[in-house]
């Protein structure tokens, strides 16, 4: 993208935020200091923010460290249905003013927000380590992606603010402009509690919409810190609300309110389908068809061809399956391996899995931390028991450590495509490995899923890679690399089928989800 100009600055072409190298002694020391500083803030209470109005409720929500559940991260409010209705009304009332602000002004606020994240990067890293259970590297990637979203969407907003290329008829002045939608509900997940939250919220705000943010109850403190950063950057308090609490108590109220114009959601398939169904209804007084932008997970496969570099493939599968404990919608949960290299692949993978270290992520020597909560740990262990009856356990298979929600990285081989662990999203460190007759059979198995988010193929045969590009039905396909780690700008992210609406976050058309086009023709002469 070429450089663009706002009223206040020359904007260089977008580049991704570099990751902090924690192997450097000075940077590791800064991270340890940030961890100590954040730990000293444990147990604080945070308010609801309803368009600048700070509120507390009688019922509280506790956020705890999944690596040490005895540690209370923060105390939050359980918002009520009335709080939800007040937030929508406040957002609706401020929308006329916010929508009329110049796009350049709103973009400038995003650039300021990116600067705040850079200045406080170690601090946000530390919150992600403690509240979300992320390793230093995973936390760093999360914060860097949040910065990328700010920088990338600010630049694309400036593009949308200019004249659009349309045909000019003789005797007319023809133009097309993009205008914001209205009040949006932003429902981010707990697994990327900063990056995805920032991406969803800033895309809506920079295009002139007002938003109500309903964060996950597992990571509300990170959302509260984001809200503080929005205010520090200069976003008007009335432009957004932060509403913590039970999804059942306030989520349906926000989605179904007749003044809600759109819902931006990232989470499970079942919740996403419920939101889509609820948003499709048109209650009395609603003047529009609500728009739903949804990313709903995956059952992602990596195909390993007989002509692949096996060591490269094993590494790609390992990091895709067990990075952040497999708690990524893009995580590899199925490895589909050509029978000619199947046994060798399994031997190499088993040896690698057994080297992975597990423990509290504040210690950088631990590659894997905890899963997010006790309910997740229980569900994952139940799936593992099912998997033991559907295949051959070759690694892991149990919980790990006495305190915290830890699960050993688990590999189950010889899994049939009809097995539950082949078809159902587990969202944890569980990998099913299946044998394919040949490359065509491997692609068939990879596509045997209701999801279509990410996938990867390891092969040194260019013709097979070309066939995968045509026939592997996923929104994000990778060749000879892992299937996680999409980079803003380079890998627009979003999937097919039950993986969502393929809205392509971090891509050049993402902001179009939050605006509507208005065509204007003026007769002249």
Strand order in the sheet with 183-187: 53-55, 48-50, 240-242, 210-213, 183-187, 260-266, 291-295
Query: Length of the chain, please?
Result: 525
Q: Which residues contact 206 (CB under 8 A, 6 or more apart)?
A: 103, 106, 107, 109, 110, 153, 154, 157, 511
Q: Which two tokens stand for residue 118?
A: 């850079």
DSSP string, 206-227: HTT-EEEE---TTSHHHHHHHH
CA angle 262, 264, 268 (to 5 degrees): 130
Residues with active-site annotation = 295, 329
CB 73 within 8 A of CB 130: yes
Partners of 184 in beta bridges: 211, 262
Long-range contact set of residues 21-30: C-beta below 8 Å, sequence gap at least 24: 22/136, 22/137, 22/140, 22/364, 28/364, 30/122
Spatial distance between the Cα atoms of 350 and 338, rounded to a whole number of angstroms: 17
Spatial distance between the Cα atoms of 361 and 135, rounded to a whole number of angstroms: 5
DSSP string, 463-505: HHHHHHHHH---SEEEESS-S----TTTS-B--EETTB----B
Q: Which residues contact 482 (CB under 8 A, 6 or more apart)?
A: 302, 315, 316, 317, 319, 320, 332, 456
| Burial of 385 from C-beta contacts in 10 A (0-12 / 13-18 / 19+) | exposed
Q: 410-413 and 399-400 as β-strands: parallel, antiparallel, unpaired?
A: unpaired
In 10 A of CB 318, how many CB atoms? 23
Nearest to 196 by CA among 217, 226, 218: 226
Spatial distance between the Cα atoms of 259 and 91, rounded to a whole number of angstroms: 9
- CB neighbour burial string for 253-266, b if at least 16 within 10 angstroms, e if fewer: bbbbbbbbbbbbbb
The single residue listed with the structure tokens 């350049």 is 104
Spatial distance between the Cα atoms of 146 and 140, rounded to a whole number of angstroms: 10
Calculate Rg over the CA atoms of the chain. 23
């Amino acid at each position: 993208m070429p450089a663009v100009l706002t009223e206040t600055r020359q904007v260089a072409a977008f580049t991704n935020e570099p990751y902090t190298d924690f192997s450097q002694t000075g940077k590791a020391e800064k991270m340890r200091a940030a961890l100590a500083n954040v730990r000293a803030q444990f147990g604080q209470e945070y308010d609801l923010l309803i368009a600048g109005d700070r509120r507390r409720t009688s019922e509280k929500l506790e956020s705890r460290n999944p690596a040490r559940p005895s540690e209370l991260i923060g105390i939050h409010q359980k918002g009520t249905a009335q709080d939800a209705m007040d937030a929508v009304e406040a957002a609706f009332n401020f929308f006329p003013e916010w929508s009329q602000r110049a796009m350049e002004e709103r973009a400038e606020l995003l650039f300021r927000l990116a600067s705040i994240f850079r200045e406080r990067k170690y601090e946000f890293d530390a919150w992600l380590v403690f509240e979300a259970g992320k390793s230093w590297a995973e936390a760093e990637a999360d914060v860097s992606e949040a910065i990328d979203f700010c920088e990338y969407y600010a630049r694309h907003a400036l593009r949308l603010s200019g004249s659009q290329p349309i045909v000019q008829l003789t005797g007319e002045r023809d133009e097309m402009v993009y205008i914001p939608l209205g009040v949006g509900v932003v429902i981010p997940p707990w697994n990327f509690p900063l990056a995805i939250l920032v991406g969803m919220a800033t895309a809506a705000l920079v295009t002139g919409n007002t938003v109500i943010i309903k964060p996950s109850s597992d990571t509300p403190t990170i959302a509260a810190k984001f809200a503080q950063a929005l205010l520090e950057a200069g976003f008007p308090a009335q432009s957004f609300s932060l509403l913590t609490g039970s999804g059942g108590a306030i989520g349906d109220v926000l989605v179904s309110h007749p003044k809600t114009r759109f819902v931006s959601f990232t989470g499970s398939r079942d919740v996403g389908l419920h939101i889509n169904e609820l948003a499709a209804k048109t209650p009395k007084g609603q003047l529009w068809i609500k728009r739903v932008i949804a990313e709903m997970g995956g059952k992602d496969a990596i195909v390993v061809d007989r002509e692949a570099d096996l060591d490269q493939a094993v590494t790609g599968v390992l990091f895709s399956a067990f990075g952040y404990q497999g708690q990524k919608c893009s995580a590899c949960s199925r490895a589909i391996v050509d029978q000619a290299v199947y046994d060798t692949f399994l031997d190499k993978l088993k040896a690698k899995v057994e080297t992975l270290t597990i423990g509290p992520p504040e210690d950088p020597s631990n590659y894997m931390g905890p899963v997010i909560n006790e309910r997740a740990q229980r569900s994952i262990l139940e799936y593992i028991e099912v998997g033991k009856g559907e295949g051959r356990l070759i690694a892991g298979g149990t919980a790990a450590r006495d305190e915290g929600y830890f699960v050993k990285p688990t590999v189950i081989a010889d899994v049939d495509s009809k097995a539950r662990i082949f078809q159902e999203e587990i969202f944890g460190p569980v990998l099913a490995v299946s044998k394919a007759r040949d490359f065509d059979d491997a692609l068939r198995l990879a596509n045997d899923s209701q999801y279509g988010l990410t996938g990867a193929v390891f092969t040194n045969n260019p013709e097979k890679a070309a066939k995968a590009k045509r026939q592997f039905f996923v929104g994000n396909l990778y060749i000879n690399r892992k299937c996680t780690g999409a980079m803003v700008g380079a890998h627009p992210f979003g999937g097919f089928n039950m993986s969502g609406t393929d809205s392509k976050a971090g891509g050049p058309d993402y902001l179009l989800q939050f605006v509507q086009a208005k065509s204007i023709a003026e007769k002249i002469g």
